[in-house]
Amino acid sequence: MCGDATNWDEDAYRETILKEREIQTRTVFRTAWAPPYTSNLDTLILASSDGSVASYSISSSIAASKIKNPFGFVNADTDELLAEPNCFVQAHDGPAYDVRFYGDGEDALLLSCGDDGRIRGWRWNEFSSSNYSVSSQGNDIKPVLDVVNPQHKGPWGALSPIPENNAIAVNTQGGSVFAASGDSCAYCWDVETGKVKMVFKGHMDYLHCIVARNSLDQIITGSEDGTTRIWDCKSGKCTQVIDPARDLKLKGSASWVGCVALDASESWLACSSGRNISLWNLPASECISKIPTRACVQDMLFDNNQILYSIALT
């Protein structure tokens, strides 16, 4: 039996197949809770490998799951994804690696960074407004902040590719957004003007992570070169180099610094290096504890006197 191929659209078919494969292999790189004043910790923001930034309601997702499957039995092979985003925006050309909030009041900005070297920011009130539905794909939500990393000049005036942004951090008092970039530099951007205020140079390889130590006007970066560096935001100079791999006696490819985290007092720093976490007392510049993990650490944070972390199991 043959079908009528008169109106066959090869491009549309190819696009549908690629979209289905993309959805099946989508990776969530970072999550963030929406400001409590708007959602009471019910709304979760996701930055994904398809370049999207989307918001999800936890309570709505749980309710939908109970309606479809009231007995709680889940078949991973047949059950469809139940969670549908409240709002969706195609934020980046390429993966979106990080998402953060700048401020926590009514004027809060939702920031994201990605493989295209951009940092983009939307007014959270607009992003979360019911006026923007998922069907619109977020294309009508215009960013109020849109900056891109500079390119470097090479021989004969050739320009380098735009370096990606792997992570961001914020300092609302200083009006700054910091980016950990793929060109081994960290950048400080002015939120109001959208211009670079400072470039932090010193790492020998690309940066994985960054955190702001706002009480001392510093940032802390972690790099593929295996070191963590503390920077003074006023001078742009590196004030301290921490080498977790040397202290943990790690060798080879497991020595990169994948993520860093500060406690609430900003006196304790956790650094991940491969399958290990080192805990540092910053005033004493001393490694206090070493924690082995089952796999490479993807993300971590302090919760009172505990360190919570996620790992990648294959």
- Asked whether 205 and 220 are in contact (CB, 8 A), the reply is no
CA dihedral 218, 223, 228, 230 (to 10 degrees): -20
User: The domain 26-66+83-311 is classified under which CATH number: 3.40.50.2000, 2.130.10.10, 3.40.50.300, 3.40.50.720?
Assistant: 2.130.10.10
Is the model's pLDDT at 76 over the cut of 60? no
- Percent of the chain at pLDDT exceeding 70: 82
pLDDT of residue 304: 86
Is the model's pLDDT at 30 over the cut of 80? yes
- Asked whether 96 and 114 are in contact (CB, 8 A), the reply is yes
Classify strands 218-223 and 165-171 as parallel, antiparallel or unpaired. Answer: unpaired
pLDDT of residue 166: 97
- Per-residue model confidence as pLDDT tens digits over 125-166: 888 875 555 544 555 688 999 999 998 888 888 888 999 999
pLDDT of residue 255: 76
Is the model's pLDDT at 264 over the cut of 50? yes
Lowest mean pLDDT among 74-83, 109-118, 196-205: 74-83
Higher-pLDDT residue of 213, 250: 213
pLDDT of residue 36: 77
Mean pLDDT of 195-205: 96
pLDDT of residue 104: 85
Is the model's pLDDT at 79 over the cut of 60? no
As a whole number, the mean pLDDT across the chain is 85
Quickly state the pLDDT bin for 117 (edges 50, 70, 90). Answer: very high
pLDDT of residue 254: 61
Q: Three-state secondary structure along the chain?
A: CCCCCCCCCHHHHHHHHHHHHHHHCCCEEEEEECCHHHHCCCEEEEEECCCEEEEEEHHHHHHHHHHHCCCCCCCCCCCCCCCCCCEEEECCCCCEEEEEEECCCCCCEEEEEECCCEEEEEEHHHHCCCCCCHHHCCCCCCCCEEEECCCCECHHHCECCCCCEEEEEEECCCCEEEEEECCCCEEEEECCCCCEEEEECCCCCCEEEEEEEHHHCEEEEEECCCCEEEEECCCCCEEEEECHHHHHCCCHHHHCEEEEEECCCCCEEEEEECCEEEEEECCCCEEEEEEECCCCEEEEEEECCEEEEEECCC
- Per-residue model confidence as pLDDT tens digits over 44-73: 999 999 999 999 988 877 776 655 555 454
pLDDT of residue 163: 95
- Asked whether 228 and 244 are in contact (CB, 8 A), the reply is yes
Distance separating alpha carbons of residues 120 and 29, to the nearest angstrom: 16
Distance separating alpha carbons of residues 149 and 164, to the nearest angstrom: 8
Distance separating alpha carbons of residues 108 and 253, to the nearest angstrom: 39
Is the model's pLDDT at 4 over the cut of 60? yes
pLDDT of residue 85: 84
Residue (of 212, 130, 123, 207) closest to 172 by Cα position? 212
Lowest mean pLDDT among 64-68, 105-109, 283-287: 64-68
